[in-house]
Amino acid sequence: MKVVLFCGGLGMRMRSGHDSLPKPMMPIGSRPVLWHIMKYYAHYGHTEFVLALGYGANAVKDYFLNYQETHSNDFVLTKGGREVELLSSDISEWRITFVDTGMDTAIGERLRRVRPYLEDDEVFLANYGDVLTDAPMDRIVDDFLRTDAVGSLMAVSPQDSFHVVRFEPDGTMRDLEPVAGMSMCINGGYFVLRQGIFDYLNEGEDLVMDACVRAARDGRFRVHPHEGFWAPMDTLKERSALEEMNRVGDRPWAVWDREAQHHLRRVPEVEVGEIAAFPRTV
């Protein structure tokens, strides 16, 4: 099952020392967030990736063309460095297709432009390329395959530190409530899709606010709520938090690392009408 990763974001809210990097290439530890997401999918057996490239396409291509396995794997060096024996490998089984989908292209159009590379897969996966989770992807896919929906997205609680202000017309404040504590969900950026999603997606459109909404109105889109770990990397603050978690070894998204795994609580499906599916620019 192929995985489409949208890699066109500029990461303007994270500019600090990595000005030329596209958002998916912003590092967490020694590896970019894109690598962490690909390792997540590979853990569940999904090792065929289609990268929908935009801003900074060459940075993504060059990273993998010059990939250094020794940066994240143990190895044995002999003969004064002339021979290196890897004790494990990250990407030797991965197949990665690099597709330039344009600089200012909407996510839905990026998906349309990589469709020729997906036609062998009736069902495929997609991801924004800047969000981490510990969600059980195998269960999510299994649940989806039992339906006739054309797509599903993962619903999560908002992580923002903002507060919602409730007030009267005369300016009197009635309440102040943190967004993270409200009984609402947002689009978590992890999709399972069928080829039928393209029936709802027109040229130049957005995947979520156009195609997913149309499919939902036809009763053909699903939601998989996840109450475990989920974290976006939209801002410098969010990246710094993930960097610190990685530094101290608290990496719940690293499902490929047995020591990082923890109990995953399964929650029931709900219809897409029960969440707020926020658009993203990637």
Supply the CATH number for residue 52's domain.
Answer: 3.90.550.10
Within a domain: 66: yes
Domain assignment present for 254 = yes
Overall domain count for the chain: 1
Read off the pTM: 0.84
Q: Per-residue confidence at 47, pLDDT binned at 50, 70, 90? A: very high
Are 1 and 123 contacting, i.e. CB atoms less than 8 angstroms apart?
yes
- 151/280: higher pLDDT: 151
Q: Report residue 184's pLDDT band, with 50, 70 and 90 as the boundaries.
A: confident
C-alpha 232/C-alpha 272 separation (Å) is 21
Q: In whole numbers, what is the pLDDT of the chain averaged over residues?
A: 86
Measure Cα distances from 213 to 10, 99, 186, 207, 218 in Å: 26, 26, 14, 9, 9
182 falls within a domain: no
pLDDT at 146: 97
- 280 pLDDT exceeds 70? no
In a domain, 170, yes or no: no
Is 146 part of a structural domain of the chain? yes
11 versus 251: the higher-pLDDT residue is 251
Q: Is residue 206 part of a domain?
A: yes
Contact 4, 14 (CB under 8 A): no
For residue 238, the enclosing domain spans: 3-75+84-156+188-265
**Residue of 166 and 52 predicted with greater confidence:** 52
Distance CA 230, CA 222 (A): 19
In a domain, 130, yes or no: yes
- Phi (first) and psi of residue 59, to 5 degrees: -65, -40
**Count of Cβ atoms closer than 10 Å to residue 182 Cβ:** 12
Q: Could you report the per-residue pLDDT of 146-178, keeping only the tens digit for each?
A: 999 999 999 998 876 677 888 889 988 988 877
> For residue 277, what pLDDT band results from cuts at 50, 70 and 90?
very low
Residue 26 in domain: yes
pLDDT at position 6: 96
pLDDT band (50, 70, 90) for residue 273: very low
Q: Is residue 223 pLDDT above 90, yes or no?
A: yes
